[in-house]
Amino acid sequence: MMLERSLSRHTIDAYERDLRKLESFLQLHKLEFSPMSIGIEQLEAFIHWLNELGLGARSQARLISSIKSFFKYLLVEDVIDRNPSDLLEGPRLSRKIPEVLEYEDIQEMLRAIDLSHPQGTRNRAMLETLYACGLRVSELTNLKLSNLFLDIGFVRVIGKGDKERIIPIGEEAIKHIRFYLEGVRNNLQCIKPEAENILFLNRRGGQLSRVMVFLVVKELAKIAGIKKNVSPHTFRHSFATHLIEGGADLKAVQDMLGHESIITTEIYTHLDNDYLRATIMQYHPRNKK
């Protein structure tokens, strides 16, 4: 998974936890847990057990995906001669519309940042970058100085599966990144060797964690009085939604988000009824005066 598919340590750990759950079930029920012995009956019993434990549909779907990937790998490697997970069906998932911030909500969060402290300058640059580029939180924390091309308005991002994409970045985000670089980062007394090329650092000169970014965003949403469930990913959802509502091409948004399938990007085409009504009233020939 790491060498051939370039998956992150975080993703690999998630796969391993899923398989450990299957192992625990088989041991608990005193069933054979050699991969060569597992059949569809044991797998279906496992899913039934997860239902009884109250595991949500999305968690079940991810778990089933892990199991299918595992047995597919064993089949390719000739460890097994049949794939018992072929007939395993996951729960039907509704397409959940993501939480999105209004532009004014984002402005309120930015205004809530205390710029009198160095961390405030860093946090402003982080949020501006999240919203300007639609980054995942891991892409933000791994953003490298060598991948900034601010003079021409682009950043190079390494996304899931080590896939690279080039994203335009706006002047406001560039301005605050430069404020952070010149006023904060360049004045840090000690930068850890492994973080020398990382853009956003903590006060000890190390790379910021995903959890730290999450806590910063949560705290700013609270200060700004926003009642929605806001996370760093909310900025990514808002980036995509605001672009599409503004008339951006869906394929361009797909490329900027780094989605493999345009079906994933299509969820951002949800628009409120007032917007749809205004569009119909403006463009339908029967409504034109």
Active-site option among 144, 160, 165, 192: 160
Q: Which strands form 164-168's sheet, in the order they lie side by side?
A: 148-149, 154-158, 164-168
Residue at 143: amino acid letter: L
Active-site annotation holds for 136:
yes
Contact call for residues 234 and 101 (beta carbons, < 8 A)? yes
- d(CA 169, CA 61) in angstroms, rounded, equals 35
Active-site option among 21, 236, 237, 242: 236
Active-site annotation holds for 259:
yes
Active-site annotation holds for 124:
no
Active-site annotation holds for 236:
yes
The set of residues, in sequence order, having a beta carbon less than 8 Å from that of 48 and lying 6+ positions away, is none
Structure-token pair, residue 149: 């091309």
Strands 154-158 and 148-149, sheet pairing:
antiparallel
Active-site option among 68, 156, 192, 233: 233
- d(CA 163, CA 159) in angstroms, rounded, equals 5
Active-site option among 21, 122, 136, 176: 136
- d(CA 197, CA 207) in angstroms, rounded, equals 10
Q: By three-state DSSP, how is residue 3 classified?
A: coil
Active-site option among 259, 283, 284, 289: 259
- Among candidate residues 175, 197, 35, the one with its CA nearest the CA of residue 115: 175
Contact call for residues 83 and 71 (beta carbons, < 8 A)? yes
Active-site annotation holds for 233:
yes
Active-site annotation holds for 30:
no
Using CA atoms of 170, 213, 234, 57 in order, give the dihedral in degrees to the nearest 10: 150
Positions marked catalytic: 136, 160, 233, 236, 259, 268
